[in-house]
Amino acid sequence: MKNLVLFGFMGSGKSTVGRLVAAELNLRFVDMDRLIEEREHRSVGDIFQKDGERRFREIEHHLVRELSEQQGLVIATGGGVILNPENVERFSRSAVVIGLRVDGATAFARTKTHGHRPLLKTQNPLESIGQLLEERGPLYEALPHVVESSNRSAAEVALDVVEIYLEQVAGPH
């Protein structure tokens, strides 16, 4: 089965929706950030703090290359995977790629209690979210399929994602 890759900003619901979609489609779920943490034996925040964002993006890119060669996966990318065009291109060759759109207020509400978000460890996390969304928003919107996740339940978003995936895998009628 072709992979399904979920892109989106932090708090867009990639992991939550991804788990629901994987269960519905009987595919294996992979959360890239969690897999990196397991392999590195430390948190994403620790990698950022000790090795820097550049090193983290290198680790992430290697994982993209590895996962794009597998099949039968629902992959929740880290929010910054979209920053490297090669990551998007690799996943697009082997998967149905879907972006989850989220507004800044919803992203903040969903992530404000998460201490593990290194890019939100700022004086004004809501302002940081706005800046990051301004930078990354056009990249997410350029994906072939985008599903709104703001003010919607994970189950509602998952239904839309499954529908797009099945349409893309089935091909034109």
Give the pLDDT confidence of 48-102 residue by residue, as tens digits: 889 998 999 999 999 999 999 999 999 999 888 999 999 999 999 999 999 999 9
Secondary structure of residue 35 in the 3-state scheme: helix
Nearest residue to 160 via CA among 171, 149, 170, 169: 149
pLDDT band at residue 158 under the 50/70/90 scheme: very high
The backbone torsions φ and ψ at residue 119, rounded to the nearest 5 degrees and listed phi first, read -80, -5
CA–CA–CA angle 32, 36, 37 (5° rounding): 120
pLDDT at 117 over 60: no
Report yes or no on whether pTM surpasses 0.85: yes
**Domains of the chain from N-terminus onward:** 3-167 (3.40.50.300)
